[in-house]
Structure 1
Amino acid sequence: MKLDREFYNRDTLTVAKDLLGQILVHRTEEKILKGIIVETEAYLGVEDKAAHAYGGRRTKRVETMYGPPGRAYVYIIYGMYNCLNTITREEGVPQGVLIRGIEPIEGLEYMALNRFKKPLEELTKYQIKNLTNGPGKLCQAMMIDRSLDKEDLSGDKLYIKKGENKDFNIIEAKRIGIDYSEEAKDFLYRFYIEGNPNVSRFK
């Protein structure tokens, strides 16, 4: 069952935690790629110095954040890596959740080719561990790019469906890569499934 718009139209920190254990799906013309969401980060928009929309910033890049909940916000970092966010809250409130890590469950052979240009059986243990344990890595593995910006996450192409396993502990930690954001760098807005090997960083 796909998560509906009302799932996203809630408190962003709550959504960030509730996304853990859900299943991210990218259905392309040729294949289906799936992974369990194991790590997220919440960004609270206008009031959050780490967020793209801090202070009400509204540029072409961040316009998606001001749109309706349940849409994909895909942007590029370092000029080369795509990152996937889910938009939360009501339209006009620019908040969202970054998907930081997934546990691959379907289409691993394609993910291996997308990430390393090698068949799955030729990957080293290190490469397998680093297949989807980071926002840029998972987007590369799942073939998620800027063409999917504004995609309806309740549609049939890129969507999140309800996971079956909720038997895990959630760890709260500081977000990663936002040392510029003054006091916001210390907010415990990153959430991950305790002990899952696909988490990008523990604590």
Structure 2
Amino acid sequence: MMHAILEQDTVAHRLIGCHLVRQTPHGTIRVEITETEAYKGRDDPASHAYRAVTPRNRLMFGEVGRLYVYLIYGLHYCMNVVAHEPGNAGAVLLRAAEPVEGLELIRANRPGVADRNLLNGPGKLAQGLGVDIGFNGYDLMRSPDRQLALHISSKALPVAASPRIGISQAKELLWRFTPSD
């Protein structure tokens, strides 16, 4: 899926219902992705890749299926799946997920947090999975160590599109995706 469908909003839509599986020394964490946002590179003023290649955003111009991890506000890591058409740049921000397996491991990564708030934001999701800047560039589709893997859902779920949040430009674009009721 990641190599055949490269348009960011399509990938963001298709990632809803997919699983991220994290192998840790203490066991397996599996989560189902429930919220994503598309960032379309040079065509999107809210994208890190809008102006030019920088040391921070260079992965957004690179190989599809890699993880683009960055620190926001100097506090929280955010995870993006690189997705773009050939010759372009872009990524899909993983905003939220629901635990499927390894709830105790997620709780240990986010001590003192109510279960309903464990993975309901991009920084919370990265922390719950134990993902930090060391995963920047990680190949979600082909990494031999399989510390973190993306398992594509075999069926497309119905999703709702809405404006992206937490940005100051291009807020009106309906590139945020969640499961529809």
Which residue pairs with 1:134 in the alignment?
121
Larger Rg: 1
Question: TM-score w.r.t. structure 2 length?
Answer: 0.91
Question: TM-score w.r.t. structure 1 length?
Answer: 0.82
Which residue pairs with 1:188 in the alignment?
174
8 Å contact 2:162–2:176 — kept in the other structure?
Answer: yes
**Partners of 1:164 and 1:89 in 2: how far apart?**
21
Q: Extract unaligned runs of 5+ from structure 1.
A: 196-203
8 Å contact 2:7–2:85 — kept in the other structure?
Answer: no
Equivalent in 69, 73, 81 of residue 76 of structure 2: 81
Matches within 5 A, 1:16-165: 16-55=12-51, 57-90=52-85, 92-116=87-111, 118=112, 127-154=114-141, 155=143, 156-163=146-153
State percent identity of aligned pairs. Answer: 39
Q: Which runs of 4+ in 1 moved over 4 A?
A: none
- Following superposition, the deviation at residue 42 of structure 1 comes to 0.1
More helix by share: 1
In the superposition, relative to structure 1, how do residues 142 and 12 fare at CA in structure 2: closer, same or farther (>3 Å)?
A: same
**Partners of 2:82 and 2:160 in 1: how far apart?**
22
- Following superposition, the deviation at residue 31 of structure 1 comes to 1.8
Instruction: Tell which deviates more after alignment, 186-195 or 100-109.
Output: 186-195
Instruction: Tell which deviates more after alignment, 155-164 or 62-71.
Output: 155-164
**Partners of 1:139 and 1:161 in 2: how far apart?**
17
The CA RMSD measured in Å over matched residues stands at 1.7
Aligned length: 178
In the superposition, relative to structure 1, how do residues 130 and 28 fare at CA in structure 2: closer, same or farther (>3 Å)?
A: same
